[in-house]
Copies of this chain bind each other. A is one copy, B any other.
Amino acid sequence: MTETKPITYAWAINHAIDEEMQRDPTVFLIGQDVGRMGGVFGLTRGLFDKYGAERVRDVSIVEHLVVGGAVGAAIGGMRPIAEVQFADFLLLAGDESFHKMAKWRYMHGGRLTVPMVVRAPCGIQGGVGAEHSQSPEAHYWHTPGVKIAVPSNPADAKGLLKSAIRDDNPVIYFENRRLYRNKGVVDPDPELLVPFGQGTVAREGTDVTIVAWSAMVPAALEAAEILEREQVSVEVVDPRTLVPFDMETVAASVRKTSRLLVLHEASLTAGPGAEIAARAADELFELLDAPVKRLAGTDNPIPQNMALEPFCYPQTDEIVSTVRDLAKW
Protein backbone atom coordinates (compact mmCIF):
# COMPACT_ATOMS: atom_id res chain seq x y z
CA MET A 1 0.00 0.00 0.00
CA THR A 2 1.66 3.20 -1.08
CA GLU A 3 0.03 6.19 0.49
CA THR A 4 0.73 9.19 -1.66
CA LYS A 5 -2.21 11.33 -0.67
CA PRO A 6 -1.00 14.31 1.27
CA ILE A 7 -1.71 14.16 4.98
CA THR A 8 -1.68 16.87 7.61
CA TYR A 9 1.11 17.62 10.03
CA ALA A 10 -1.31 16.58 12.79
CA TRP A 11 -1.95 13.19 11.21
CA ALA A 12 1.72 12.70 10.54
CA ILE A 13 2.27 13.02 14.28
CA ASN A 14 -0.56 10.64 14.98
CA HIS A 15 0.86 8.10 12.54
CA ALA A 16 4.33 8.34 14.00
CA ILE A 17 3.02 7.62 17.48
CA ASP A 18 0.80 4.83 16.25
CA GLU A 19 3.56 3.10 14.32
CA GLU A 20 6.03 3.33 17.17
CA MET A 21 3.50 2.08 19.72
CA GLN A 22 2.80 -0.80 17.40
CA ARG A 23 6.46 -1.57 16.97
CA ASP A 24 7.57 -1.25 20.57
CA PRO A 25 5.38 -2.20 23.53
CA THR A 26 7.39 -0.01 25.88
CA VAL A 27 6.25 3.13 24.11
CA PHE A 28 3.29 4.79 25.83
CA LEU A 29 1.52 8.13 25.96
CA ILE A 30 0.88 10.19 29.05
CA GLY A 31 -0.90 13.52 29.25
CA GLN A 32 -4.13 15.38 29.79
CA ASP A 33 -6.99 14.26 27.57
CA VAL A 34 -4.71 12.15 25.35
CA GLY A 35 -6.95 9.16 25.93
CA ARG A 36 -10.70 9.05 25.57
CA MET A 37 -10.79 12.49 24.01
CA GLY A 38 -7.91 11.88 21.62
CA GLY A 39 -6.12 15.04 22.66
CA VAL A 40 -7.37 18.60 22.92
CA PHE A 41 -6.18 19.13 19.37
CA GLY A 42 -7.21 15.67 18.23
CA LEU A 43 -3.64 14.52 17.71
CA THR A 44 -3.95 11.22 19.54
CA ARG A 45 -7.32 10.22 18.13
CA GLY A 46 -7.87 6.47 17.88
CA LEU A 47 -4.94 5.47 20.03
CA PHE A 48 -6.89 4.92 23.23
CA ASP A 49 -9.23 2.52 21.49
CA LYS A 50 -6.36 0.73 19.88
CA TYR A 51 -3.93 0.49 22.78
CA GLY A 52 -6.04 0.90 25.90
CA ALA A 53 -5.79 2.89 29.09
CA GLU A 54 -2.46 1.42 30.21
CA ARG A 55 -0.66 2.72 27.15
CA VAL A 56 -2.60 5.91 26.61
CA ARG A 57 -2.70 7.42 30.04
CA ASP A 58 -4.99 10.31 30.89
CA VAL A 59 -3.86 12.32 33.86
CA SER A 60 -5.15 15.13 36.01
CA ILE A 61 -3.62 18.60 35.97
CA VAL A 62 -0.26 17.35 37.10
CA GLU A 63 2.46 18.62 34.78
CA HIS A 64 5.11 17.75 37.38
CA LEU A 65 3.94 14.16 37.31
CA VAL A 66 3.64 14.05 33.55
CA VAL A 67 7.28 14.96 33.05
CA GLY A 68 8.74 13.55 36.27
CA GLY A 69 6.71 10.38 35.94
CA ALA A 70 7.99 10.00 32.41
CA VAL A 71 11.56 10.32 33.66
CA GLY A 72 10.90 7.61 36.23
CA ALA A 73 9.23 5.35 33.71
CA ALA A 74 12.10 5.91 31.28
CA ILE A 75 14.80 4.90 33.72
CA GLY A 76 12.56 1.94 34.57
CA GLY A 77 12.66 0.64 31.01
CA MET A 78 9.78 2.33 29.25
CA ARG A 79 9.76 4.87 26.42
CA PRO A 80 7.25 7.50 27.46
CA ILE A 81 5.82 10.12 25.17
CA ALA A 82 4.70 12.84 27.53
CA GLU A 83 2.35 15.49 26.25
CA VAL A 84 1.89 18.89 27.77
CA GLN A 85 -1.16 20.62 26.32
CA PHE A 86 0.84 23.72 25.51
CA ALA A 87 4.60 24.07 25.36
CA ASP A 88 4.36 26.85 27.94
CA PHE A 89 3.20 24.26 30.46
CA LEU A 90 6.49 22.44 30.19
CA LEU A 91 7.96 25.32 32.15
CA LEU A 92 5.61 24.41 35.00
CA ALA A 93 7.53 21.17 35.31
CA GLY A 94 10.72 23.14 35.77
CA ASP A 95 12.48 20.76 38.09
CA GLU A 96 11.35 17.76 36.11
CA SER A 97 12.40 19.11 32.73
CA PHE A 98 15.48 21.22 33.50
CA HIS A 99 16.94 19.19 36.31
CA LYS A 100 15.55 15.66 36.19
CA MET A 101 14.96 14.86 32.54
CA ALA A 102 18.10 16.61 31.36
CA LYS A 103 20.47 15.67 34.14
CA TRP A 104 19.44 12.37 35.68
CA ARG A 105 21.64 10.31 33.43
CA TYR A 106 24.69 12.53 33.74
CA MET A 107 24.38 13.08 37.49
CA HIS A 108 24.40 9.36 37.98
CA GLY A 109 27.59 8.84 36.10
CA GLY A 110 25.94 8.01 32.80
CA ARG A 111 24.70 4.73 34.24
CA LEU A 112 20.99 5.27 33.63
CA THR A 113 19.24 6.25 30.41
CA VAL A 114 16.25 8.50 29.98
CA PRO A 115 14.64 7.63 26.65
CA MET A 116 11.62 9.89 26.52
CA VAL A 117 9.89 12.44 24.36
CA VAL A 118 7.96 15.48 25.44
CA ARG A 119 5.48 16.65 22.86
CA ALA A 120 5.06 20.36 23.25
CA PRO A 121 2.48 22.15 21.08
CA CYS A 122 3.82 25.64 20.61
CA GLY A 123 3.15 28.75 18.66
CA ILE A 124 0.92 31.77 18.54
CA GLN A 125 -2.60 30.97 17.45
CA GLY A 126 -6.17 31.18 18.53
CA GLY A 127 -6.21 33.89 21.16
CA VAL A 128 -5.06 31.65 23.93
CA GLY A 129 -2.85 34.27 25.45
CA ALA A 130 0.44 34.67 27.21
CA GLU A 131 0.57 31.28 28.89
CA HIS A 132 -0.49 29.16 25.90
CA SER A 133 1.46 30.64 22.98
CA GLN A 134 5.14 30.40 23.73
CA SER A 135 7.86 28.54 21.90
CA PRO A 136 10.28 27.98 24.76
CA GLU A 137 13.00 26.51 22.58
CA ALA A 138 15.83 28.61 23.96
CA HIS A 139 15.20 27.60 27.56
CA TYR A 140 15.90 24.01 26.62
CA TRP A 141 18.62 24.68 24.10
CA HIS A 142 20.45 26.15 27.06
CA THR A 143 19.90 22.89 28.95
CA PRO A 144 22.64 20.36 28.20
CA GLY A 145 21.22 16.87 27.99
CA VAL A 146 18.07 17.55 25.99
CA LYS A 147 17.60 17.18 22.25
CA ILE A 148 15.18 19.45 20.44
CA ALA A 149 13.15 18.83 17.29
CA VAL A 150 11.30 21.61 15.45
CA PRO A 151 9.62 20.13 12.36
CA SER A 152 8.20 22.43 9.73
CA ASN A 153 6.22 20.01 7.53
CA PRO A 154 4.36 16.71 7.74
CA ALA A 155 7.17 14.50 6.46
CA ASP A 156 9.66 15.88 8.96
CA ALA A 157 7.02 15.85 11.67
CA LYS A 158 6.64 12.13 11.25
CA GLY A 159 10.25 11.23 10.64
CA LEU A 160 11.61 13.32 13.46
CA LEU A 161 9.05 12.09 15.95
CA LYS A 162 9.89 8.51 15.13
CA SER A 163 13.58 9.24 15.57
CA ALA A 164 12.82 10.98 18.83
CA ILE A 165 10.89 8.03 20.19
CA ARG A 166 13.74 5.66 19.29
CA ASP A 167 16.39 7.95 20.69
CA ASP A 168 17.84 6.93 24.04
CA ASN A 169 18.01 10.55 25.13
CA PRO A 170 15.29 12.94 26.22
CA VAL A 171 13.84 14.88 23.32
CA ILE A 172 11.54 17.85 23.33
CA TYR A 173 9.44 17.83 20.21
CA PHE A 174 7.98 21.24 19.48
CA GLU A 175 4.96 20.94 17.23
CA ASN A 176 3.65 24.26 16.04
CA ARG A 177 -0.12 24.54 16.29
CA ARG A 178 -0.27 26.78 13.21
CA LEU A 179 1.10 23.89 11.18
CA TYR A 180 -1.36 21.22 12.31
CA ARG A 181 -3.55 21.51 9.22
CA ASN A 182 -0.75 21.94 6.71
CA LYS A 183 -0.59 19.06 4.29
CA GLY A 184 2.25 17.27 2.62
CA VAL A 185 3.13 13.94 1.13
CA VAL A 186 4.56 11.56 3.70
CA ASP A 187 6.22 8.33 2.72
CA PRO A 188 4.32 5.57 4.51
CA ASP A 189 7.43 3.44 5.04
CA PRO A 190 7.41 2.87 8.81
CA GLU A 191 11.19 2.63 8.87
CA LEU A 192 11.72 6.02 7.30
CA LEU A 193 13.27 8.18 9.98
CA VAL A 194 14.50 11.74 9.74
CA PRO A 195 17.86 11.91 11.47
CA PHE A 196 18.57 14.49 14.13
CA GLY A 197 21.24 17.09 13.40
CA GLN A 198 20.72 17.14 9.66
CA GLY A 199 19.27 20.36 8.30
CA THR A 200 17.79 20.75 4.86
CA VAL A 201 17.81 23.45 2.28
CA ALA A 202 14.11 24.15 1.90
CA ARG A 203 14.78 26.45 -1.03
CA GLU A 204 17.97 27.23 -2.85
CA GLY A 205 19.17 30.77 -3.43
CA THR A 206 22.27 32.86 -3.77
CA ASP A 207 21.84 36.28 -2.22
CA VAL A 208 20.65 35.85 1.34
CA THR A 209 20.41 32.87 3.68
CA ILE A 210 17.43 32.60 5.96
CA VAL A 211 17.66 30.10 8.78
CA ALA A 212 14.13 29.24 9.82
CA TRP A 213 12.35 26.31 11.37
CA SER A 214 8.87 25.24 12.41
CA ALA A 215 6.13 27.62 11.29
CA MET A 216 8.70 30.16 10.12
CA VAL A 217 9.68 27.96 7.21
CA PRO A 218 6.44 28.44 5.26
CA ALA A 219 6.68 32.15 6.04
CA ALA A 220 10.26 32.29 4.80
CA LEU A 221 9.33 30.42 1.63
CA GLU A 222 6.48 32.80 0.99
CA ALA A 223 8.81 35.75 1.45
CA ALA A 224 11.34 34.12 -0.86
CA GLU A 225 8.70 33.84 -3.59
CA ILE A 226 7.94 37.52 -3.35
CA LEU A 227 11.62 38.45 -3.27
CA GLU A 228 12.33 36.36 -6.29
CA ARG A 229 10.11 38.71 -8.27
CA GLU A 230 12.44 41.50 -7.11
CA GLN A 231 15.49 39.51 -8.25
CA VAL A 232 16.54 38.74 -4.71
CA SER A 233 17.47 35.08 -4.45
CA VAL A 234 16.86 33.62 -1.02
CA GLU A 235 18.12 30.34 0.35
CA VAL A 236 16.08 28.90 3.19
CA VAL A 237 17.84 26.54 5.56
CA ASP A 238 15.68 24.50 7.92
CA PRO A 239 17.84 22.93 10.64
CA ARG A 240 14.92 20.65 11.67
CA THR A 241 16.53 20.04 15.05
CA LEU A 242 18.14 22.63 17.28
CA VAL A 243 19.95 20.01 19.33
CA PRO A 244 22.00 18.77 17.66
CA PHE A 245 22.33 21.83 15.45
CA ASP A 246 23.56 21.43 11.90
CA MET A 247 25.87 24.39 11.58
CA GLU A 248 27.50 22.87 8.54
CA THR A 249 24.45 23.35 6.36
CA VAL A 250 24.17 26.94 7.54
CA ALA A 251 27.85 27.52 6.81
CA ALA A 252 27.55 26.01 3.35
CA SER A 253 24.74 28.38 2.57
CA VAL A 254 26.46 31.46 3.92
CA ARG A 255 29.49 30.49 1.91
CA LYS A 256 27.27 31.14 -1.12
CA THR A 257 25.26 34.11 0.10
CA SER A 258 27.50 35.92 2.60
CA ARG A 259 24.35 37.22 4.23
CA LEU A 260 22.42 35.68 7.07
CA LEU A 261 19.01 36.29 8.55
CA VAL A 262 17.86 34.17 11.46
CA LEU A 263 14.12 33.97 11.77
CA HIS A 264 12.05 32.66 14.64
CA GLU A 265 8.75 32.98 16.40
CA ALA A 266 9.94 33.03 20.00
CA SER A 267 10.67 36.46 21.39
CA LEU A 268 13.87 38.00 20.11
CA THR A 269 16.01 38.70 23.13
CA ALA A 270 18.17 35.81 24.28
CA GLY A 271 16.07 33.66 21.99
CA PRO A 272 17.22 30.71 19.93
CA GLY A 273 18.32 32.97 17.10
CA ALA A 274 20.94 34.50 19.36
CA GLU A 275 22.85 31.23 19.45
CA ILE A 276 22.82 30.87 15.71
CA ALA A 277 23.80 34.48 15.13
CA ALA A 278 26.53 34.20 17.74
CA ARG A 279 27.96 31.11 16.12
CA ALA A 280 27.87 32.82 12.75
CA ALA A 281 29.63 35.86 14.17
CA ASP A 282 32.40 33.60 15.32
CA GLU A 283 32.66 30.70 12.91
CA LEU A 284 31.49 32.43 9.73
CA PHE A 285 32.96 35.85 10.41
CA GLU A 286 35.13 35.87 7.35
CA LEU A 287 32.31 34.79 5.07
CA LEU A 288 29.96 37.57 6.06
CA ASP A 289 29.45 40.66 3.95
CA ALA A 290 26.73 42.11 6.11
CA PRO A 291 25.57 42.22 9.70
CA VAL A 292 23.88 39.08 10.94
CA LYS A 293 20.22 39.91 11.26
CA ARG A 294 17.58 38.39 13.48
CA LEU A 295 13.87 38.76 12.94
CA ALA A 296 11.83 37.25 15.70
CA GLY A 297 8.90 37.56 18.03
CA THR A 298 8.49 40.81 19.90
CA ASP A 299 9.70 41.05 23.46
CA ASN A 300 6.37 40.83 25.20
CA PRO A 301 3.96 38.16 26.41
CA ILE A 302 1.35 37.25 23.77
CA PRO A 303 -1.91 39.13 24.30
CA GLN A 304 -5.14 37.18 24.39
CA ASN A 305 -6.68 39.50 21.80
CA MET A 306 -6.36 37.48 18.62
CA ALA A 307 -6.26 40.58 16.47
CA LEU A 308 -2.96 41.51 18.12
CA GLU A 309 -1.27 38.18 17.46
CA PRO A 310 0.15 39.02 14.03
CA PHE A 311 2.04 41.92 15.56
CA CYS A 312 3.87 39.53 17.84
CA TYR A 313 5.78 37.39 15.36
CA PRO A 314 7.42 37.95 11.98
CA GLN A 315 4.97 38.42 9.14
CA THR A 316 5.81 37.88 5.51
CA ASP A 317 6.08 41.57 4.70
CA GLU A 318 8.58 42.13 7.48
CA ILE A 319 10.65 39.20 6.32
CA VAL A 320 10.59 40.58 2.79
CA SER A 321 11.71 44.03 3.84
CA THR A 322 14.40 42.74 6.17
CA VAL A 323 15.85 40.53 3.46
CA ARG A 324 15.55 43.32 0.93
CA ASP A 325 17.65 45.58 3.17
CA LEU A 326 20.13 42.84 3.89
CA ALA A 327 20.58 42.10 0.20
CA LYS A 328 21.65 45.71 -0.34
CA TRP A 329 24.80 45.30 1.77
Contact = CB atoms under 8 A, between A and B. Distances in A.
Interface of A: 88, 91-95, 98-99, 102-103, 106-107, 129-131, 136, 138-139, 141-142, 144-145, 266-267, 269-275, 277-278, 280-283, 285-286, 288, 290-294, 299-301, 304
A131 B274 contact: no
A293 B300 contact: no
Q: Give the number of times this chain occurs in the complex, counting copies.
A: 2
Contacts of A292: 278, 281-282, 285
Interface residues of A, dominant DSSP = helix
Contacts of A142: 138-139, 266-267, 269-271
A270 B95 CA distance: 19
A315 to B, nearest CB: 19
Given A94-B94, A142-B267, A301 B106 contact: yes
Nearest to A286: B291
25 contacts: A88-B98, A88-B99, A91-B95, A91-B98, A92-B95, A98-B136, A103-B301, A106-B130, A106-B300, A107-B129, A107-B131, A107-B301, A138-B142, A138-B270, A139-B142, A142-B271, A144-B301, A277-B277, A277-B278, A277-B281, A281-B281, A281-B292, A282-B293, A285-B292, A286-B291
A28 to B, nearest CB: 25
A136 B102 CA distance: 14
A272 B275 contact: no
A281 B283 contact: no
Given A99-B130, A278-B278, A300 B270 contact: no
A301 B269 contact: no
Contact of A99 (B131, B144, B273): B131
